[in-house]
Amino acid sequence: MPPSDAMRPGYHNLRRREIIELVPTSAKRILDLGCGTGELGKALKDRQRCHVTGIELNKEAFKIAEKNLDLAFCDNVNRYDPAITNQKYDCIVFGDILEHLISPWVVLIKFRKVLTDGGVVVASIPNVGHPSVVAQLERGLFRYELAGILDITHLRFFTKTTTFQLFYKAGLKVVECAAFPSTDNPQQYLITAVKPQLKFEKPLCTVVILAFNGWRFTKKCIDSLKERTFAPYKVLVVDNGSTDMTVKALRQDHSIFHVESDCNQGFSRGFNLGLELIDTPYFVICNSDTVVTPGWLTTMLKHINIEKDLVVLGPRSNYVSGPQQVEGVTYNNDKTMCEYAASRSVDELNPISYFFRIVFFFVLFKSRVLSEVGYLDDNFTKSNFEDDDYCIRVSRKRLKAAYDNTVFIHHWGRATFKENKVNWESEMKTNKALFMSKWGLTEYGPGKALHITNV
């Protein structure tokens, strides 16, 4: 049985100065969910001219909140419908409440609808990835407590990365994330999120970019997508623990979504953080050192639908292994690159070429592949051979892969490895051994037959 509120003195009358500091002084209408006795709202009203509404389940706390706030409801946030008041809010506060909810994803979506276009969501979320919890798990323990990270009334548990995923699923863009009380003692994360300023209301495709430092390349990639993508799309960047200006820049760009990881998860695990969130009919796996050309998505969407079972479609490029490689390209700047790409976009007798292996530096998928084939195998470290592995899995499901002869994507090539001084050859050797072992291959490479023994 959960402990009674009487066992947790002061639980409902916390002022939470760290949360107050995140609430914009310009906010006129504020909604505080799980407001307790309304101390936080009262402090806001003392600081600025605003109207504060609170929702609180505990009856005793609610009676006090009625006196401290402009309006209060005694109700369960899990079932409360904010639309009944026909009111929009400039700031919605979730102070240590999301982890108590049955479905915080559903609740966030519900309350996002009553957030003004320029409004913010402020939240504090306990960090189950705290070193003290990790130390317990290493000893096979998970001890619930009366309060804190492992509060016995918590129904959901989040880390920094899964907190970003939570807000993405609700259609909210995280613009600030701070460890509290400090980076050395991250007991919880203080989040500020906004409605993103998306170019398309109903995107058909999610472009998932994996970034690890090298912001100059990532910026060029994102800028080219914004300028040269005409079919409905959205961008989701997964940051793999960057230490340069990447995270700061991603938080500042409200036209894209992003997810942050504190460590380098590698290619497969990093991309899987994004693939778990796919909610569009198509998605793209995109290296951060690529530059797209005008109309690429419109053309690739047309060609991937040539056949029902064609689920993987790559482009041609200047830097890629296998038949996708275009030899002897002569462009030397962005303008001539686009001109060269346009010259390839004319209708051909064979706009696509079927091939068993497509390189995942940039590739378009039908999203059904995730349910039929699954995610990338995250046993592969850092990078290399996860694409070969996935293409084999695609073919074994009797699905097809191809490359588009009319779409050209520029690839700088191994930029992330070079920027981070990672030994590409070592990663290649390690992952090839894992790949060969997994599939029981005796030979693999150009001109070699595949001998898959572990059917």
- Domains with residue ranges and CATH for the chain: 5-194 (3.40.50.150), 205-439 (3.90.550.10)
Q: Length of the chain, please?
A: 455
Tell me, what's the pLDDT at 243? 94
What is the average pLDDT across 304-326? 96
pTM: 0.92
- Is 453's pLDDT higher than 70? no
Q: What is the per-residue pLDDT across 82-100, written as a single tens digit (0 to 9) for each?
A: 988 899 999 999 999 999 9
Tell me, what's the pLDDT at 454? 38
Q: How confident is the model at residue 447 (pLDDT cuts 50, 70, 90)?
A: very low
- Is 194's pLDDT higher than 50? yes
Tell me, what's the pLDDT at 12? 64
- Is 258's pLDDT higher than 90? yes
CA 65 to chain centre: 36
Inter-residue long-range contacts of 440-447, CB under 8 Å, 24+ positions, other chains counted: 444/388, 446/322
Is 180 buried (19+), middle (13-18) or exposed (0-12) by CB count in 10 A? middle
Share the mean pLDDT of the chain: 91
What is the average pLDDT across 248-253? 98
**Percent of the chain scoring above 70 in pLDDT:** 91
Cβ–Cβ under 8 Å, residues 149 and 133 = yes
Q: What is the per-residue pLDDT across 158-193, written as a single tens digit (0 to 9) for each?
A: 999 999 999 999 999 999 999 999 999 999 999 999
- The residue ranking higher by pLDDT, 451 or 351, is 351
Contacts of 374 (CB under 8 A, 6+ apart): 393
- Is 421's pLDDT higher than 80? no
Cβ–Cβ under 8 Å, residues 110 and 77 = no
Q: What is the per-residue pLDDT across 223-240, written as a single tens digit (0 to 9) for each?
A: 999 999 999 999 999 999
Cβ–Cβ under 8 Å, residues 274 and 259 = yes
Find tokens 């906010």 and name the residue.
Answer: 27
Tell me, what's the pLDDT at 441? 84
Q: How confident is the model at residue 2 (pLDDT cuts 50, 70, 90)?
A: very low
Tell me, what's the pLDDT at 428? 78
What is the average pLDDT across 23-31? 98
Tell me, what's the pLDDT at 414? 63
**Percent of the chain scoring above 90 in pLDDT:** 82
